[in-house]
Structure 1
Amino acid sequence: MDPAPPARIYAYSGGFLGPDRQARRIRRIMELAGHPLRIGLPGKADKVAVWGHAKRAARGEKIAARRGAGLLRIEDAFLRSLFPGRAGEPTLGLLIDHQGAYYAPAKPSGLETLLATHPLDDHALLERARLGMARIKALQLSKYSAHDPDLPAPKPGYVLIVDQVRGDASLTHGGLDGALSPHLFREMLVQAQIDFPGARIIIRTHPETQHGYRAGHYTPADATQDKITLLDDPVSPWELLEGAIAVYTVSSQLGFDAIFAGHKPRVFGLPFYAGWGLTTDLTPHPRRRRRLTRAQLFAASMLLYPHWYDPCRDRLCSFEDALDHLEALTRAWREDRKGYVALNMRLWKRRHLQIFFGRWERLRFAKAPQRDRQPMVWGMADGPENAIRVEDGFLRSRGLGAELTPPLSLVADDIGLYYDPRSASRLETLIASPPPPGSTTRAQALITRIRKERLSKYNLSCMTPDLPEGYRILVPGQVEDDASIRLGAGDICTNLALLAETRRHNPQAMILYKPHPDVEAGLRPGAIPQGEAMRLADLVLDRADPTYLLDHVDEVWTMTSTLGFEALLRNVPVTTLGAPFYAGWGLTRDLGAIPERRSARPSRDALAHAALIAYPRYVDPVSHLPCAPEVALDRLAMHDSARRPALRMLAKLQGLFASFAPLWR
């Protein structure tokens, strides 16, 4: 007998069928999940998609009842976005439930069934859950992650009460037979004062209330007493949970977060996370008898139940990929939300800078600072002391910056710049700090992918030459007027001097000299006459593939080249004659003057995490969204980062005027 055809899914509300970004995102996730939405009339074997128990679900429920069709209840996933959906930002995931809505305990939902019946004992699954909990906390992410990092949390030692919006479906369908009303929130406030007499009480308003979309249950009138504060500022919920001595909630997702922050929240309703032994429940649940660990609750709720979506790659993805994207998105908002004024920027860079840093507040381009914007300058250009300094990242593009190829990654440093060892930089701070949860595993995977795809900073189409036998030392040439040479090279500051010093220390080695691509292209200074180069080197490797060379050499000697960093990623020993950002941490042999402040001893993977994940910013060239470095690697591997034809023509003209570089750099 042929199997029954899968149920067709019908929808009738604008929330599913509308033209806005959220509706389009919902339709796309449903399609990728195997539930493409249709219009028409369902049969008995079909289902009607409705948005939870919202008012707009009523029409779909009536049609399903009349036609004998089933219901498919849809809701946002528990890590939704930066802002509430009413702000117009689409969700990063959906909860697609064939049984019910996760917040309506009148009957089991798919999530409740999962929590009650799934073994949740797989070691790898639980390790993912533990790491996911740690990462969310370290990154200060929640359902809505647009928390202001500049806002301090209240002084620790308070009781935290969590408000919710009036009429929310998790309250009206919370299973308390009408008891859920403003009176219940009043009772919760009174109970907290009874349980903790004399303690300070912080009432945290809902993000939708903070944005003015919907009213909550508490008002400034509730903060008339000295010990009660209504907090409607967007302080990170993780900071609030850190300072709380107890947490009270009816059914807010913040109670879910509180569990992973180490609390056992006092719960007045019947949310999905209550009844499993991780909460103090004032209303016993009629069905839930199983006792779960935090990791088991997280594994079911965040790893197994949702359908996560990657908006850059346009595909369903794992929780970890969604988290990586939300991390990139949240970081960009937190850093850029107040806007910048970019000073004296070249015309060709402005579009890319706008894409990177002007998503929420468009960049202003000017010649002088402005009082209401933080200044931004390129590299070591003149600028105010508080200027953000921008430079290319270490996985930049397929093509040279000097040929005007758009970057996939930029760094924006509020302390200094990574190639100026005279003072500290944000990168130095990251390298010297303890690595965040999951950083080692993520960096290892990134390094493996970089090596497998043979990726480097510029990813040019290069040759793979035959190399002589013997102990091979690769010497990468550099642009001699580059800031990294001027500021960090020391006494050995020309390519000829670098070659001579390498030969002096290694008279018997096979020395392979690779000129810098910008120098080969005739765009920047640093060329060594052929005769001089061949006197010191055994082979000059014009236009050779650096990734191929790194796989076939025994050592790298350099002044400050990022090729030394790429060598470390491939476990090739590196000797530095200057003070590049990767020197002085115990991973290289350093013959130059290294700042004494570099006393930490990170692992190679910790260094890679700082330099490739935590320090740069990446933008997907396809979607123009802030993205994770893993997405940038995909684009580089698929050649999806080429510059536009207009820029190629401009680059050719630029080559004609290379000696007038100050005009375009």
Structure 2
Amino acid sequence: MPMLDAFLQAEVVPCWWWPRGALDATVGWGRSRHAWRARRVAADCDRPFLALEDGFLRSFHPGRQHPPLSLVLDDVGIHYDSTRPSALERLLASEEDLLGGGAAEDAARARALIREHGLSKYNHAPPMARVQAALGRPLLRPNDRRRVLVVDQTRGDLSIALGGASEHTFTELLVAALADNPHATVYVKTHPQVLAGRREGHYARLRDGERLVVLRQAIEPLSLLRHMDAVYVVSSTLGFEALLADRPVCCFGMPWYAGWGATQDRLRCPRRTRARSVDELFVAAYLRYARYLNPETHAPGTVFDAIDWLARQRRMAGFRPERRSD
């Protein structure tokens, strides 16, 4: 990964070159099977293991050709693993005033910019108006009394099993979304990796019906979310983006943002007993837990560096911010 040393603010060497007495820590990719060597070296040397994962504002496109602007580094666990604590969970569970010292103002500014420019983890998808213009028709049914979004994920996503869910949970979620909202049209959002043909989703065999529509187009999430009345997820980060759009979210798994009183939860995490607002969740995850790179100087940066760069890339791609009524 390019510029990893800038993210870590440390010299980075491959595992097979490690000098036994000179390591401060080892780094591996989250809870993936690829991190076993780094975990073993950390144990052998009695050094900390640091879990690395993509941040919440990663890049324009997914993939290795687009290095991340944001990473998280966790010396306790990793945020998508609800089976054990993480540094993010401990921060949220602490007595710390997360909105003090100017953090509330920074959060308000960052949230407003994210909504204005329609930013997400990946940012290559066009806004909904652009998708509709290309299709030559409305994407959503015009006579809906109510709209509910169900969010698919890729099969094998670690956040599913480590979030207390399974493949069967996606069936339960869809059944519940239809039953809980008898007068609504339920829209199922296909995962971007499934649209790209790289992964398999859980709703591949679904077909449109009287109350069911499968969205198989790449769409900027925030431009879609502002047309929804409620959102159902298992453990997708899009659920938190729905909270940023002020939409009610029902979680059938235990993602990092569940269990704090901001979501309707079907599961319970006994470690999460404190109530946190969406702003507090945002500060903890986007401003404190995530690290950023200034893409122009390649030095450690801020969330505003990432926002500015991604917004600029979207403008260069011809994606103009939509007028937002929310």
Q: Structure 2 length as normaliser, TM-score?
A: 0.82
1:345-371 CA distances to partner (integer Å, 9 max, x unpaired)? xxxxx32423422x4x32001248644
- Cα distance in 1 between the residues matched to 2:241 and 2:306: 17
Deviation at 1:613, TM superposition (A): 0.3
1:451 aligns with 2:102: no
Secondary structure in structure 1 of the residue aligned to 2:90: helix
1:375-400 CA distances to partner (integer Å, 9 max, x unpaired)? 11001132246310000011111111
Larger Rg: 1
Q: Is residue 234–residue 252 contact of structure 2 (8 Å, CA) maintained in 1?
A: yes
Q: Is residue 79–residue 87 contact of structure 2 (8 Å, CA) maintained in 1?
A: yes
1:100-249 pair list within 5 angstroms: none
For 2:11, the equivalent position in structure 1 comes to 362
Secondary structure in structure 1 of the residue aligned to 2:27: strand
Question: Residue 496 and residue 502 in structure 1: after superposition, are their counterparts in 2 closer, same or farther (change >3 A)?
Answer: same
Q: Is residue 167–residue 202 contact of structure 2 (8 Å, CA) maintained in 1?
A: no
Deviation at 1:496, TM superposition (A): 4.5
Secondary structure in structure 2 of the residue aligned to 1:540: strand
Deviation at 1:405, TM superposition (A): 1.9
- Cα distance in 2 between the residues matched to 1:492 and 1:482: 10
Q: Is residue 568–residue 574 contact of structure 1 (8 Å, CA) maintained in 2?
A: yes
- Cα distance in 1 between the residues matched to 2:90 and 2:240: 17
Q: Structure 1 length as normaliser, TM-score?
A: 0.41
- Cα distance in 1 between the residues matched to 2:21 and 2:161: 32
1:283-432 pair list within 5 angstroms: 350-357=1-8, 359=9, 361-367=10-16, 370-373=20-23, 374-381=25-32, 382=36, 383-384=39-40, 386-401=48-63, 404-432=65-93
Match of 1:636 among 295, 310, 313: 310
Question: Residue 640 and residue 448 in structure 1: after superposition, are their counterparts in 2 closer, same or farther (change >3 A)?
Answer: closer
1:302-335 CA distances to partner (integer Å, 9 max, x unpaired)? xxxxxxxxxxxxxxxxxxxxxxxxxxxxxxxxxx
1:611 aligns with 2:285: yes
Question: Residue 562 and residue 428 in structure 1: after superposition, are their counterparts in 2 closer, same or farther (change >3 A)?
Answer: same
Unaligned runs of 5+ in 2: 133-137, 317-326
- Cα distance in 2 between the residues matched to 1:463 and 1:452: 12
For 1:439, the equivalent position in structure 2 comes to 103
For 1:541, the equivalent position in structure 2 comes to 215
Secondary structure in structure 2 of the residue aligned to 1:635: helix
1:481-520 pair list within 5 angstroms: 481-491=156-166, 493=168, 495-520=170-195
For 2:298, the equivalent position in structure 1 comes to 624
Unaligned runs of 5+ in 1: 1-349, 643-665
Question: Residue 526 and residue 362 in structure 1: after superposition, are their counterparts in 2 closer, same or farther (change >3 A)?
Answer: same
Q: Is residue 184–residue 211 contact of structure 2 (8 Å, CA) maintained in 1?
A: no
Question: Residue 442 and residue 362 in structure 1: after superposition, are their counterparts in 2 closer, same or farther (change >3 A)?
Answer: same
Deviation at 1:623, TM superposition (A): 1.1
Count of aligned pairs between the two proteins: 288
- Cα distance in 2 between the residues matched to 1:628 and 1:622: 12
1:113-138 CA distances to partner (integer Å, 9 max, x unpaired)? xxxxxxxxxxxxxxxxxxxxxxxxxx
Q: Give the RMSD, CA atoms, in angstroms.
A: 2.3
Highest RCO, 1 vs 2 (Cα 8 Å, sep ≥ 6): 2
Moved beyond 3 Å, runs of 4+ = 367-371, 491-498
Secondary structure in structure 1 of the residue aligned to 2:26: strand
1:581 aligns with 2:256: yes
1:567 aligns with 2:250: no
Q: Is residue 492–residue 498 contact of structure 1 (8 Å, CA) maintained in 2?
A: no
